[in-house]
Chain A
Amino acid sequence: MIIDVPEGVMLDLYEKMVATRLFDLKVKELIEKGHRILYHSGVGQEAIPAGVCAQLRREDYVVPYHRGWGYMIAKGMDMGRILAELLGKASGYCKGKAGTHMACLELGVLGKTGIVGAGLPVAVGAALSAKMRNSGQVVACFFGEGASNTGAFHEALNMAAVWRLPVIFVCENNLYDMYTPYLEVTSVANIADRASAYGMPGEVVDGQDVLAVYEAAKRAVSRARRGDGPSLLECKTYRWYGHFMADEHHYGGYRSIEEVEAWRARCPIRKLRDRAISKGIPAQELDRIEERVRAKVEEAERFALGSPEPDPRIAFEDVYA
């Protein structure tokens, strides 16, 4: 099935994905230059945060997971302040205290935990709150397939289903839990199959196709907004780089070079670009978007690197309210 979306949506998705990619590569470059940043590259997986978040409103909540910064970019957070936070600068979203775990409550980004699976119950609670407050908000909760083996996943899905909460569980299945092929430690080939055990719809989506993600998210978000409860979307995808920066086994170790190359050939940004061009959008227009984004990333870098370090005394702030 060929999915059709208006040209404006297509260009917006393109911009978000390109921003996510270029920002990620900028972070990688800074680490290579010696900056200390906790980095789990999301390159290759950009279609998922972009496609899902495009169905959300400003007041809807997002609980991101550790891979990439697409959720924050898609929710409208400023790349300069995201980068400043990653560098531990005072001008970051959390004064440098959170680093990669940063939040921006104003834009509904609740923060991301370093504990795999621990974000799911938090998302359930935010959805419960939205329901109790009758606010009409929905929650999108992202996690990897590895997280779906934690107790927290199973407990959270049950709770969300039994209380019919407005939450969308988005599993980014990139086929590896760190250095382990997921089928070595996971009892089902499709994480989406687990949804039926909790009485909610589960859907497998091509995570390289942003339009497919966008459409699947639309169904799940409408369901949640109607008060029909949670859904589980599993997006099949792949990370181009290692689990984190120091992972030297990812290329020709636990993943074969052929496998990595085959997935890199299925670039989600390239796929959308080709589709846009085939729909009659001029390549120059897409190039202009890229140029604009590139300039913003450079500006973000200047801002972040030029920002001051936090005053050590802020270590004592925010421990108690």
Chain B
Amino acid sequence: MREITYAEAIREALREEMARDERVFIMGESINYGLFGVTAGLRDEFGAERVRNAPISEASIVGAALGAALTGMRPVVEIMFADFLFCAMDSIANEAAKWRYMIAGQASASLVIRTPQGSGLGMGCHHSQSPEWVFAHFPGLKVVAPSTPYDAKGLLKASIRDDNPVIFFEHKMLYRMKGPVPDGEYIIPLGKADVKREGSDATIVATSLMVHRALEAAEELAKEGISAEVIDPRTLSPLDKDAILESVRKTGRLIIAEEACKTGGFGAEVAAMVAEEAIDALDAPIRRVAAFDVPIPFSPPLEDYVIPNKDRIAEAVRSVV
């Protein structure tokens, strides 16, 4: 199969969906090139109306996308860094998440917000956060966080066709990662996890960049005779609980790896869900591996220290098998 980058896979999804459905348009700051180059070249193909440079006005970009969606368009907006979602917090959490519910389903907020998340570039605490779980807290929003080019393309196409507001978290350290992506169209349904590696001794649930760190950890553990299964939920909301529970029932152990801070995060939710639904299947305490509960510091050695790496994940697995 051909190999393309994560960024190219996302661009392909945008291009195919814009060609398929003229209601789809994209909008964002300097989207003519795009900061990470994801949208580069699309303006030549689709014109400045549908590849629309927006002012630096995150609240209005998302609010306008909502208005366009309620009245028949299917906007896909880019927020340049996930950190800036907070500038649009009202438009997202109060408006997009709730409008359809409030008006009893008379119209849908069919919009997508694409945004790069994560640390690794030494950009300091305003450009390095992974706030995906914050958004999974709000009913009405869907939250997607792909870890591979294949998943990114299929999930973005599903997100664009979905009738709900979807926040699509792209990891900035994955944009250049290459992976197999078939020619032609395919869709990955939202809400379906993927087993990225099979194993029998422990389940590691990991998202986005942490999927790769978990896979590296699993590789290392395999040499020690420990067989770890790596599950990538791909969608945080709705969460594929069944896939997680099934794996935990098989392995009896659960480790959750995430890039965001530990307190009140994704790991806390998955741990609570498994404790509620399958505590009898557990042979050991659940372990969470997450960033320390501090803002992400600028200095590269400090940043590396705060974010989980393969060693921390492997150590958490060893501590329970």
Contacts and interface: CB of A to CB of B under 8 A. Distances in A.
A149 B55 contact: yes
B131 interface: no
A115 B84 contact: yes
A177 to B, nearest CB: 6
Interface stretch (B140-148, B185-193, B239-247, B288-296): B288-296
Contacts of B33: 179, 249, 253-254
Which of A147, A178, A253 gathers most chain B CB within 10 Å? Answer: A178
Contacts of B306: 315
Contacts of B295: 319
A310 B299 contact: yes
Contacts of B57: 149-151
B294 A319 contact: yes
Nearest to A182: B55
Interface size classification for chain B: 20 to 34
14 contacts: A36-B300, A89-B299, A95-B299, A97-B297, A97-B298, A98-B124, A101-B125, A101-B126, A114-B83, A150-B56, A151-B59, A151-B60, A180-B29, A310-B301
Interface in A33-54: 36, 38
Nearest to A312: B305
Interface size classification for chain A: 35 or more
A88 B300 contact: yes
Given A36-B122, A115-B87, A150-B57, 7 more contacts: A97-B297, A99-B124, A99-B298, A101-B126, A180-B32, A185-B55, A315-B292
B298 A309 contact: no
Contacts of A114: 83, 123-127
Contacts of A185: 53-56
A178 B301 contact: no
Contacts of B200: none
A38 B302 contact: no
A316 B294 contact: yes
Given A114-B83, A151-B57, A185-B55, A315 B122 contact: no
Given A101-B124, A316-B294, A88 B53 contact: no
Contacts of A253: 33
Contact of B56 (A96, A101, A113, A116): A116
Nearest to A244: B35
A129 interface: no
Nearest to A92: B299
A114 B127 CA distance: 7
B189 to A, nearest CB: 35
Interface of B: 29-30, 32-33, 35, 53-57, 59-60, 83-84, 87, 121-127, 292-295, 297-302, 305-306
Interface string A66-79: 00000000000000
A88 B302 contact: yes
A82 to B, nearest CB: 13
| For the complex of A and B, 10 pairs with smallest distance between CB atoms | A88-B299, A114-B126, A99-B298, A96-B299, A149-B55, A179-B30, A312-B305, A185-B55, A178-B30, A97-B297
B55 A177 contact: yes
A38 B305 CA distance: 19
A265 interface: no
Contacts of B84: 115
Interface string A278-321: 00000000000000000000000000000001101011100100
Given A99-B299, A314-B302, A177 B56 contact: yes
A32 interface: no
Contact of A88 (B121, B293, B298): B298
Interface in A255-272: none
Contacts of A230: none
